[in-house]
């Protein structure tokens, strides 16, 4: 297959590109490199530097004629979405619409949309949260990802565009940048490499579903050949507290640092983890990399490129 991966120079998208290339597919990466990195792109994939809202997007898809568009490109920063909701909407909502319209006009065969099960459900009515759980976004980012998925469904219903939506839990792994709006695992790893303790919001007993990036990439491979018209959670089904996460990483790093605790952030939910039985039944996917093993891989990856970096984020 010929596959276009938007955001394929980013953290998760680049692992998806790697998985597709290993499977023998022809991959084109569309990325504006605002947060993605050229060095993340597989050497057998072709990088096209372009923004989702670029007027040339349709002509590019028409000329290339991809079988599949895999849409990873997005503003993924919750705090930036709060500070600049207009920017978040332009990238995550208008960018998705522009891509959908280009895909429709170019007769793309299938559209894979990346959503956020860790954000769009909001405060849980029950745990673990399955795909039927009400969506109650508590941030502009969560709302924009939910809205994007609704547009994908609409294009499927109105224009016959086959689609699958993958709702990621909290993804971690190699290539996750510990700077800026990084995920908690990457920040913890950098703290440990620096020998400094992080400040954790709340009491640290809030739980999240941490899924390894390689497992997410494998879900994208399986979604090429099934699941049309369905949304799937992609997680482990297990909630891990932030305190436990830091303790595990401290053990891996051989350090015994005591974190500091700060106030709860507005909108933080107490517990969040996903039910993933649907994707196992339909596509045969389940998380394979255990948390400790995945954390070891992530820490080793960051340690290999070790650099002392001042950390300003709170967790």
- CATH number assigned to the domain comprising residue 195: 3.90.25.10
Residue 310 inside a domain? The answer is: no
Distance, in Å, from the CA atom of 70 to the CA atom of 78, rounded to the nearest integer, reads: 22
**One domain for residues 160 and 64:** yes
Task: Output DSSP code: residue 225.
Answer: G
Reported as a single tens digit per residue, the pLDDT across 158-177 is: 999 999 999 999 999 999 98
Residue 313 inside a domain? The answer is: no
Residue 257 inside a domain? The answer is: yes
Residue 314 inside a domain? The answer is: no
pLDDT given at position 312: 40
User: From residue 34, how far is each of 37, 50, 74, 97 by CA, in Å?
Assistant: 8, 10, 10, 20
Mean pLDDT of the chain: 94
**One domain for residues 179 and 144:** no
Residue 241 inside a domain? The answer is: yes
Residue 56 inside a domain? The answer is: yes
- Candidates 121, 141, 172, 232; catalytic one: 141
**One domain for residues 77 and 129:** yes
Element (H, E) at 11: helix 11-22
**One domain for residues 201 and 254:** yes
Distance, in Å, from the CA atom of 63 to the CA atom of 59, rounded to the nearest integer, reads: 6
Residue 311 inside a domain? The answer is: no
**One domain for residues 103 and 56:** yes
Instruction: Tell me the mean pLDDT in the region 228-239.
Output: 98
**One domain for residues 40 and 158:** yes
Residue 309 inside a domain? The answer is: no
pLDDT given at position 21: 98
**One domain for residues 228 and 267:** no
Predicted TM-score (pTM) of the model is 0.95
Distance, in Å, from the CA atom of 28 to the CA atom of 12, rounded to the nearest integer, reads: 15
pLDDT bucket at 307, cuts 50 / 70 / 90: very low
Distance, in Å, from the CA atom of 120 to the CA atom of 61, rounded to the nearest integer, reads: 29
User: Above 50 in pLDDT, residue 93?
Assistant: yes
**One domain for residues 177 and 191:** yes
User: Above 80 in pLDDT, residue 267?
Assistant: no
Instruction: Tell me the mean pLDDT in the region 228-238.
Output: 98
**One domain for residues 229 and 264:** no
Question: Tell me, what CATH number does 98's domain have?
Answer: 3.40.50.720
Query: Phi/psi at 187 (nearest 5 deg)?
Result: -65, -45
For residue 222, give the nearest of 70, 6, 14, 117 by alpha carbon.
70
Among residues 200, 234, 268, which one ends one of the domains? Answer: 234
Q: Is 299 a catalytic residue?
A: no
**One domain for residues 21 and 98:** yes
pLDDT given at position 135: 96
pLDDT given at position 308: 42
Token code pair at residue 151: 């547009």
pLDDT given at position 82: 82
Instruction: Tell me the mean pLDDT in the region 49-78.
Output: 96
Is residue 209 a contact partner of residue 272, using CB atoms and an 8 Å limit? yes
Instruction: Tell me the mean pLDDT in the region 98-125.
Output: 96
**One domain for residues 251 and 103:** no
pLDDT bucket at 313, cuts 50 / 70 / 90: very low
Percent of the chain residues past pLDDT 90, beyond the cut: 89
**One domain for residues 84 and 217:** yes
pLDDT given at position 315: 43
| Containing structural domain, residue 249 | 171-209+237-304
- Tally the domains of the chain: 2
Percent of the chain residues past pLDDT 70, beyond the cut: 96
């Amino acid at each position: 297959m010929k596959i276009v991966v938007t955001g394929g120079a980013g953290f998760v998208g680049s692992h998806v590109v790697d998985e597709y290339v290993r499977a023998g597919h022809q991959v084109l990466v569309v990325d504006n490199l605002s947060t993605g990195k050229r060095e993340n792109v597989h050497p057998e994939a072709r990088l096209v530097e372009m923004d989702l809202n670029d007027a040339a997007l349709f002509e590019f898809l028409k000329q290339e004629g991809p079988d599949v568009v895999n849409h990873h490109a997005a503003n993924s920063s919750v705090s930036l979405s709060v500070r600049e909701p207009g920017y978040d909407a332009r990238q995550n909502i208008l960018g998705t619409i522009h891509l959908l319209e280009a895909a429709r006009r170019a007769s793309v065969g299938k559209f894979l949309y990346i959503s956020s099960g860790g954000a769009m459900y909001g405060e849980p009515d029950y745990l673990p949260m399955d795909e039927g759980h009400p969506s109650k976004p508590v941030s502009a980012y969560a709302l924009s990802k939910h809205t994007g998925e609704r547009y994908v469904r609409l294009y499927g219903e109105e224009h016959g565009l086959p689609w699958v939506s993958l709702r990621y839990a909290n993804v971690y792994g190699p290539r996750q940048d510990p700077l800026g709006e990084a995920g908690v695992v990457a920040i913890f790893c950098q703290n440990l490499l620096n020998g400094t303790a992080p400040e954790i919001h709340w009491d640290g007993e809030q739980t999240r579903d941490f899924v390894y990036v390689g497992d997410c990439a494998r879900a994208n491979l399986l979604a090429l050949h099934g699941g049309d018209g369905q949304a799937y959670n992609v997680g482990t089904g297990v909630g891990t507290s932030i305190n436990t996460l830091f303790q595990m990483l401290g053990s891996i790093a051989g350090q015994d640092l005591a974190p500091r605790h700060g106030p709860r952030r507005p909108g933080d939910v107490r517990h969040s983890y996903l039910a993933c039985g649907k994707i196992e039944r339909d596509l045969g996917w389940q998380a394979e990399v255990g948390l400790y093993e995945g954390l070891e891989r992530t820490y080793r990856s960051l340690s290999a490129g070790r650099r002392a970096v001042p950390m300003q984020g709170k967790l």
